[in-house]
Amino acid sequence: EWGFLESVFEGLQAHSPMLGRFWLFLMLVFRIVILGTVASDLFEDEQLEFSCNTLQPGCKQVCYDKAFPISQYRFWVFHIVLIATPSLVFVMYATHHNNKKAKRPKSKRSIIQNYIDNRRLRRLYIVNVMFRIAAEVGFLVGQCKLYSFEVPAQYPCDRFPCPYTVDCFTSRPMEKTIFLYFYFGVGVLSAFSSTVELLYSSIKWFCCDQENFDLDESTSENLQNLRKDESGKKTTKLCYLKNMLMLFCF
């Protein structure tokens, strides 16, 4: 149900930066609301109103399957559900993280652990955004290949059991064509905003991380040591990959 997806995105909003909230606005208003209102009425009778100039039993069904391998409406609903799945996983993890954080007593150890958990939470969010971009681009390509940018008013069909090449006709082709353009434009805007969000969040959170903690000197030193250990591990991994490439080349 749309209400379940809305609750998932509302939970995601609490952990998203400003660009992420803009993407959520696109999802809730220009996708979920419009698909649940306008598109449902536009596409619910598409198979019923699809007609062919023959009474041969089964011809209409096979021609409809050729014209629409998958309904545009179901294609877009599947798109939203696929994008919502990693977001649901992130919201579940974030809720679990916040519950653990609230139960910890205030101490130096808990502050360091909260710092580590926050970085893990941010990394999971970055993975969520990367999956979102891949899904957006994949469905944009799929929409282009399946439907192009036009719903023709007439389909010639010669599939069995049609006795000859028959002409089939769709209902409201111009409305559906306009909706194809609209949904493709929303997809391009969503993919672009997600890409900008990925770059901005990665730079802000991991390259220019300037978190301010109300800590004493010893706890701050522990955090600095932790950051040095993390950077050292990254350098070691890069050196290992470099050596492997050199061995492979020679």
Closest CA to 187 of 224, 139, 151, 245: 139
Q: What is the pTM of this model?
A: 0.72
Phi-psi group of 235: left, alpha or beta (phi > 0 → left; psi -120 to 50 → alpha; rest → beta): alpha
Sign of CA dihedral 186, 25, 7, 104: positive
Q: Is 215 helix (H, G, I), strand (E, B) or coil?
A: coil
Determine which of 53-67, 93-107, 148-162 has the lowest per-residue pLDDT on average.
Answer: 93-107
Distance (Å, whole) CA 101 – CA 117: 9
More confident residue, 125 or 91: 125
Using 50, 70 and 90 to split pLDDT, how confident is the model at 8? Answer: low
pLDDT at 241: 42
Determine which of 15-24, 126-135, 146-155 has the lowest per-residue pLDDT on average.
Answer: 15-24
pLDDT tens, position by position, 134-193: 999 999 999 998 888 888 888 898 888 888 889 999 888 898 899 899 989 999 999 999
Q: Is 168 helix (H, G, I), strand (E, B) or coil?
A: strand
pLDDT tens, position by position, 30-50: 888 888 888 877 887 788 888
For residue 120, pLDDT over 90 is answered with: no
Could you say which DSSP state residue 104 is in?
Answer: S
Backbone angles phi, psi at 63, to 5 degrees: -70, -35
Domain spanning 2-211, CATH architecture:
Up-down Bundle (1.20)
Q: What residues are paired with 155 via a beta bridge?
A: 168
Sign of CA dihedral 170, 174, 175, 176: positive
More confident residue, 199 or 5: 199
Q: Count Cβ atoms within 10 A of the Cβ of residue 219 and give its class: 0-12 exposed, 13-18 middle, 19 or more buried.
A: middle
Residue with structure tokens 């559906």? Answer: 176
What is the C-alpha radius of gyration for the chain, rounded to an integer number of angstroms?
26
Using 50, 70 and 90 to split pLDDT, how confident is the model at 87? Answer: confident
pLDDT at 218: 44
For residue 53, pLDDT over 60 is answered with: yes
Whether the link from the prior residue into 163 is cis, omega within 30° of 0, is no
Distance (Å, whole) CA 229 – CA 78: 42
Q: Is 34 helix (H, G, I), strand (E, B) or coil?
A: helix
Using 50, 70 and 90 to split pLDDT, how confident is the model at 86? Answer: confident
Which CA distances in Å does 43 have to 72, 111, 161? 8, 53, 26
Round the average pLDDT of the chain to a whole number and report it: 76
For residue 208, pLDDT over 90 is answered with: no
Cβ-count burial 33-69 (b if 16+ within 10 Å, e if not): ebbeeebeebbeebeeebebebeeeebbebbbeebbe
Per domain, the residue ranges of the chain are: 2-211
Which CA distances in Å does 193 have to 43, 152, 202? 28, 32, 14
Q: Count Cβ atoms within 10 A of the Cβ of residue 135 and give its class: 0-12 exposed, 13-18 middle, 19 or more buried.
A: buried
